[in-house]
Structure 1
């Protein structure tokens, strides 16, 4: 399982969101470039970076995002409200390892189909779930799709993976979030990356045994120092122990 240490940027600062609420960010006194370098030093294979200003459609973190991509020394999976092919390809050209698409996939499925064909294994579908529906526009708008329907629409595309987030689950309600992610992971051939499920080291150990969950994003727990990245990476890399089968 791949651990994706995660940074979320808002107005040039590192933040975390509670239940996706952009208006109530938790701010961290962390240098984002130094943090990204620290991820690589700890042994991370990938990192995830979200430009929340890009999701909101305001502000400009472009220079900082590019600086992080150059300094990180590991591939960066980048999200942030991408709305055009030119935006996506511009960031791929500037070194982003993967691009995360959510809202535009809901608005215009052909947009994602075309991008996935042009950039196989570099496009990641974001599925943000709230009360059984897919959310768009930075978790502010409720779509008419169920998560299962949404994922099924892109089953044939050469995606790098699917990030599943249960927006409704608070960081302390991991069981509910894990149930949502487990069900969706079982319904797709694509590798699923869980988001919002890790508050402690024990949560990583549990995720390892969920079929078809190939990774997890960890942001708030790292910023709050509730999880040590080196320890998380070691647990994720350790061979899974046999699991008893019940009839």
Structure 2
């Protein structure tokens, strides 16, 4: 199972939100590239980046810090937030991003996901963010009636690289991930599923690993707070 250290970007800083609320922001580092280098120095194999402003704006906002991270770090990085058309997808991949994460458009324009996955094999992931099993979009501000599992199954034949499943009510709250829902989703589809939201301890990581069906886990606040030692976690997951 791959551990993805998260760098959430707001107004050029590395931050964490609670439950996705832009008004509940903690700034952890005003130099996101330095933060990324610290994660790489600890041995991470991937980075998970989110343009929080972009998720609300519907277009990239924190391009400068993302580009600085891509220049500074040799490991692959995936990015979500405000990526909603082919031109933006192509632009990010051209800049060296390993994988784009499509969230809102997976609900609003699923054909774009299929088109992008076909054009860029293994470089397109779908981000499914949910409250009580139903997908939320536009920076989690809008709720839909779409069930996560139904939407995930609809992309079975699209060739996407991964599904990143976030339980919004767990995100940034340090209360542990929704292991049962994440594992159920992973069993329901053949697409690799990455757990996100609430991963706050080594026990959480071990529990996710031990499901044997979850391909990866994303953690942010716990790494910044020191609740998870990145080097020790990477060793345990190997």
Moved more, 38-47 or 25-34: 25-34
**Deviation per CA, 1:12-36, whole angstroms, max 9, x where unpaired?**
1111111111222122145211111
Match of 2:176 among 171, 174, 179: 174
What's the TM-score, normalizing by structure 2?
0.95
Moved more, 53-62 or 158-167: 53-62
Partner of 1:32: 32
Per the TM alignment, residue 210 of structure 1 is displaced from its structure 2 partner at its CA by 1.4
Partner of 1:135: 136
- DSSP 3-state at the match of 1:23: strand
What's the TM-score, normalizing by structure 1?
0.92
Partner of 1:114: 115
Runs of 5+ consecutive residues of structure 2 not aligned to the other structure: none
- DSSP 3-state at the match of 1:234: helix
Partner of 1:52: 52
Partner of 1:16: 16
Runs of 4+ in 1 over 2 A off after TM superposition: 169-175
How many residues are treated as equivalent by the alignment? Answer: 236
1:59–1:84: structure 2 CA closer, same or farther, 3 Å change rule? Answer: closer
On the 8 A contact 1:53/1:60 being kept in 2, the answer is yes
Partner of 1:80: 81
Distance in 1 (CA, whole Å) between partners of 2:133 and 2:219 is: 23
Per the TM alignment, residue 169 of structure 1 is displaced from its structure 2 partner at its CA by 2.5
Runs of 5+ consecutive residues of structure 1 not aligned to the other structure: 238-247
Across the aligned residues of Structure 1 and Structure 2, the Cα RMSD in angstroms comes to: 1.4
- DSSP 3-state at the match of 2:70: helix
Distance in 2 (CA, whole Å) between partners of 1:10 and 1:169 is: 20
Per the TM alignment, residue 211 of structure 1 is displaced from its structure 2 partner at its CA by 3.2
**Deviation per CA, 1:177-204, whole angstroms, max 9, x where unpaired?**
1121111111010111000141111111
Distance in 2 (CA, whole Å) between partners of 1:60 and 1:198 is: 26
1:121–1:80: structure 2 CA closer, same or farther, 3 Å change rule? Answer: same
Partner of 1:241: none
**Deviation per CA, 1:62-114, whole angstroms, max 9, x where unpaired?**
11110111101111111112111000100000000000001011001101010
**Deviation per CA, 1:192-227, whole angstroms, max 9, x where unpaired?**
100014111111111111132111011110111111
Distance in 1 (CA, whole Å) between partners of 2:206 and 2:132 is: 26
Distance in 2 (CA, whole Å) between partners of 1:71 and 1:172 is: 29
**Deviation per CA, 1:213-245, whole angstroms, max 9, x where unpaired?**
1110111101111111101100110xxxxxxxx
Distance in 1 (CA, whole Å) between partners of 2:23 and 2:123 is: 30
Distance in 2 (CA, whole Å) between partners of 1:77 and 1:188 is: 21
Larger strand proportion, structure 1 or 2? Answer: 2
Moved more, 127-136 or 86-95: 127-136
